């Protein structure tokens, strides 16, 4: 594993030199995934970036856990967009006991579609929940570290960084794949971006989703649009790939903050996964345009 000093040196190389190094590790295939927002809002946690937190008046529409049938239909629709992984995402710190069995049914419904692999992002887990998800056939669980351990108290105080790490360990304990990534542009330093890459190399997730903060009005981070520029996004993606060569580095929410040219540059140098379609409370890119972009680069969609 590369140490912090070496990763910082790489981070600050001439940009093209850095991208040339990360390009040695990027795959020729691009994995598409998408999600359904299965429960929205009224979250008890105070994550400063999040529209769904009940601590902030963001005026979003809130709704309880949706019907299993809606998940089935959305999963079928996702296949049209060349998606191979489909995620159920719910708001809240941890799955509600009254909803958990229904979430398991959603996962089983996705698994009936032989063109999709089931994913879920439903919060912090305990041992029994992680075991039940594995037994239900969940292929991959998504749970981000979000930022560096040293910066986490500036992002959220209602749960700890270690609670997130523990959930990642539980998921891997029961043999479920792990999707674990970050949000860039929340005020972290270059050194903390390198710290994220090092922590992820210890966790060894199958997939590393990288989000770029889309500041939400009435959240503490609403004025954070200038906390990262496109060049530093590219630098971070490259360092993440170099530190985690076996993981899929996936460009997700907020990637429309990058120009088309820089999205293409990322796909050629460090990114081998995309989340397509809309996100939880923000609009994503047009899936048809994503398909065209990837294929024009000579890459295969998987």
Instruction: Evaluate whether residue 206 is within a structural domain.
Output: yes
Instruction: Evaluate whether residue 26 is within a structural domain.
Output: yes
Q: Using alpha carbons only, what angle is made at residue 247 by residues 242 and 116, rounded to the nearest 5 degrees?
A: 150
- What pLDDT, on the 0 to 100 scale, is given for residue 279? 54
Kindly tell me if the per-residue pLDDT of 273 is higher than 90: yes
Helix axes 97-111, 68-80, angle to 10 degrees: 40
Average pLDDT estimate for 19-48: 96
β-strand partners of 90: 39
Instruction: Evaluate whether residue 128 is within a structural domain.
Output: yes
pLDDT tens figures, 204-241 = 999 999 999 999 999 999 999 999 999 999 999 999 99
Domain count, the chain: 1
- What pLDDT, on the 0 to 100 scale, is given for residue 278? 61
CATH number of the CATH domain containing 222: 3.20.20.70
Kindly tell me if the per-residue pLDDT of 282 is higher than 60: no
Instruction: Evaluate whether residue 113 is within a structural domain.
Output: yes
Residue 148 is part of which domain span? 4-292
β-strand partners of 122: none
Instruction: Evaluate whether residue 299 is within a structural domain.
Output: no
pTM over cut 0.85? yes
Instruction: Evaluate whether residue 51 is within a structural domain.
Output: yes
Instruction: Evaluate whether residue 194 is within a structural domain.
Output: yes
**Helical spans, DSSP H, in the chain:** 4-11, 15-23, 68-80, 97-111, 127-135, 161-173, 190-203, 230-243, 260-269, 287-296
Kindly tell me if the per-residue pLDDT of 283 is higher than 80: no
Cα separation, 65 vs 188, in Å, equals 33
Give the contacts of 279 (CB within 8 A, at least 6 positions apart): 35, 252, 253
Long-range CB contacts for residues 15-21, cutoff 8 Å, separation at least 24: 15/231, 15/234, 15/235, 18/235, 18/238, 18/239, 19/234, 19/238, 19/265, 19/268, 19/269, 19/270, 20/269, 21/238, 21/242
- The helix (run of H) or strand (run of E) holding residue 117 is strand 117-121
Phi, psi of 15, deg, nearest 5 = -55, -50
Average pLDDT estimate for 262-272: 98
- What pLDDT, on the 0 to 100 scale, is given for residue 286? 82
Average pLDDT estimate for 178-197: 98
Instruction: Evaluate whether residue 298 is within a structural domain.
Output: no
The conformational region for residue 254 under phi > 0 = left, psi -120 to 50 = alpha, else beta, is left
* Residue 284's pLDDT band (cuts 50, 70, 90): low
Cα separation, 171 vs 144, in Å, equals 12
- What pLDDT, on the 0 to 100 scale, is given for residue 280? 56
């Amino acid at each position: 594993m590369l140490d912090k000093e070496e990763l910082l040196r790489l981070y600050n190389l001439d940009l093209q030199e850095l991208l040339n190094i990360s390009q040695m590790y990027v795959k020729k295939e691009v994995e598409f995934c998408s999600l359904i927002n299965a429960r929205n809002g009224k979250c008890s946690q105070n994550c400063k970036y999040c529209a769904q937190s009940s601590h902030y008046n963001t005026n979003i529409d809130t709704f309880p856990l949706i019907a299993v049938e809606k998940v089935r239909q959305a999963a079928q629709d996702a296949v049209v967009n060349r998606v191979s992984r489909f995620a159920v995402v719910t708001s809240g710190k941890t799955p509600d006991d009254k909803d958990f069995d229904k979430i398991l049914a959603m996962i089983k419904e996705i698994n009936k579609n032989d063109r999709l692999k089931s994913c879920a992002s439903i919060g912090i887990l305990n041992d029994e929940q992680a075991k039940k998800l594995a037994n239900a056939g969940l292929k991959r669980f998504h749970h981000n570290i979000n930022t560096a351990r040293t910066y986490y108290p500036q992002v959220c105080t209602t749960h700890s960084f270690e609670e997130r790490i523990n959930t990642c360990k539980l998921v891997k304990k029961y043999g479920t794949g792990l999707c674990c990534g970050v949000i860039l542009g929340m005020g972290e330093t270059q050194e903390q971006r390198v710290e994220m890459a090092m922590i992820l190399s210890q966790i060894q997730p199958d997939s590393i989703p990288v989000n770029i903060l889309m500041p939400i009005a009435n959240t503490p981070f609403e004025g954070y649009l200038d906390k990262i520029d496109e060049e530093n996004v590219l630098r971070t993606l490259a360092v993440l790939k170099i530190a985690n060569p076996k993981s899929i580095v996936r460009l997700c929410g907020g990637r429309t903050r990058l120009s088309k040219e820089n999205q293409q540059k990322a796909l050629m140098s460090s990114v081998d996964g995309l989340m397509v379609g809309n996100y939880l409370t923000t609009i994503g890119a047009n899936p048809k345009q994503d398909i065209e972009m990837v294929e024009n680069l000579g890459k295969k969609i998987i």
